[in-house]
Amino acid sequence: MTGERPVLRLHNTLTRKKQVFEPIDPSNVRMYVCGPTVYDFAHIGNARPIIVFDVLYRLLRHIYGPEHVTYVRNITDVDDKINRRAAEEGVPIAEITARTIDQFHKDIAALGVLEPDVEPRATEHIEEMKAMIEQLVEKGCAYVAEDHVLFDVTRSPRYGQLSHRSLDEMIAGARVDVAPFKRNPQDFVLWKPSKEGEPAWPSPCGIAAEGRPGWHIECSAMSDKWLWAQARDSLSDAGRAHPHVFDIHGGGADLVFPHHENEIAQSCCAHGTEEMARFWLHNGYLQVEGEKMSKSLGNFITIHALLQDWPGEVLRFNMLRTHYRQPLDWTRSGLQQSRETLERWLDQIGDVDGREEGSADPAVVEALSDDLNSPKAIAELHRLSREGAREALAASLRFLGFTGETLRARKQAAYASLKADEDRIRALITERTEARKARNWAEADRIRDELAAMGIVLKDARDPETGELKTTWEIAR
């Protein structure tokens, strides 16, 4: 990008304030986002951070240049939920994780997200986790008890800084496993023994029994490897002056405590730093038709299921109509409005594709630079549409991840599926025309309804020269 950089302001969960974002090293901006635990189809709530941080990634690339931004989004492929699912289905754990990862990639690709620069898997970083655990034990910040290694929260003087709660409040309000071998109720597991049939590796700290890592240590180890150890040689002096610290850590609001709080504690204690990441960003919760999403309520919706009925870009647009930090109510009416808006814009821009990466409308960029204000950015898209600024609208849509590909593909597929019924459609239109001529309005309406049920919309117009009524049809939006 050339010219003066836009001023980027982001709401930092750590300070509870919107702050000007200044990277540690502008030539190597680094962001880590917690990815999926791969045991089942990702639900629509999981899609929110995927889309939100994709927009931030695009914005950072726009401001600092694509070659100067590193985005790491992990995959958790060792977890109790995965083990349970494998046991339920009677298949190897590797089969569960492989097929789930594959489906996850296919589903989010339809949402128009860019691939992260690195997508580390937990099982590929066991040695890094063990090394960090041994560091913590050596420093007296963790201890071994009954083949477990646990982090001692009393050794982290700023524990609670992210969730803004005292240790007593966290103990009272959290569901913790009060095992008898814990020194403190809030101490959390870094390593635990594996049961028969579970993934297992040689344990750290001289523990004889094989085991596996706890959840929190995974992200600390993977983020440090890819945003410090692997990045160190490419950092400027400013970047190297802040070892083991990166710019942005993101995820859903549900991860603030205990996951991200525990990440900070173990990372800072292991490396002797005051901070793990400069900025912590968290997207808000999602509900469905005004209710909390829950399998028991029957409103648990996966990305995969939604993609059967809606183009991925419609899901993406619907997500961005609400500011990322606000609660989002996912509704069918909202999806329909999103689809209608996108299709109207695509019809308007026609064959203008806005491929130039840096050509988004400045007002759109400015809106996103204000803490990813996507509703304001969308308002600017509406303005461009009203003004007939086709090139700026096309470029800004592409900048936000909207190419029109999924909408066009869905419409083409619909036309193809109806091709075999084209003779039937034309016959029904002829019957309706005859019914109208005979003033049999009830029959004409019945035929229109039958066609509507097939996904066909009729358009009646008189020939300007002959005055004859002509009826054409198209796929319903």
Averaged over successive runs of 10 residues, the pLDDT of the chain (477 residues) comes to 81 98 98 97 96 98 97 97 95 96 97 98 98 98 98 95 82 63 94 95 98 97 98 96 98 97 98 98 96 84 95 97 98 96 93 67 98 98 97 96 83 64 84 91 89 83 81 75
**The pLDDT value given to residue 453:** 80
Q: What is the token pair recorded at 425?
A: 């459609």
Specify the 3-state DSSP secondary structure of 450.
helix
Please, is 225 exposed, middle or buried when counting C-beta atoms within 10 Å of its C-beta (0-12, 13-18, 19+)? buried
Phi and psi for 412 in degrees, rounded to 5?
-65, -40
For residue 66, cis peptide bond before it (omega within 30 degrees of 0): no
Q: What is the token pair recorded at 424?
A: 């039937």
How far is residue 256's CA from residue 228's CA, in Å, rounded to a whole number? 22
Decide: 30 and 247 in contact? Cβ < 8 Å: yes
**The pLDDT value given to residue 295:** 77
- Only one residue has tokens 């597929």, namely 413
How far is residue 428's CA from residue 447's CA, in Å, rounded to a whole number? 7
**The pLDDT value given to residue 287:** 95
**The pLDDT value given to residue 1:** 47
How far is residue 116's CA from residue 33's CA, in Å, rounded to a whole number? 10
Q: Which residues of 283-315 are buried (b: 16+ CB within 10 A; e: fewer)?
A: bbebbbeeeebeeeeeeebbbbebbeebbbbbb
Q: What is the pTM of this model?
A: 0.88
The partner residues of 328 in beta bridges, in order of sequence, read 286
DSSP 343-392: HHHHHHHTT-----TT-S-HHHHHHHHBTS-HHHHHHHHHHHHHHT-HHH
Phi and psi for 69 in degrees, rounded to 5?
-125, 135
Q: Which residues of 186-214 are buried (b: 16+ CB within 10 A; e: fewer)?
A: bbbbbbbbbeeebbebebbbebeeebbbb
**The pLDDT value given to residue 319:** 98
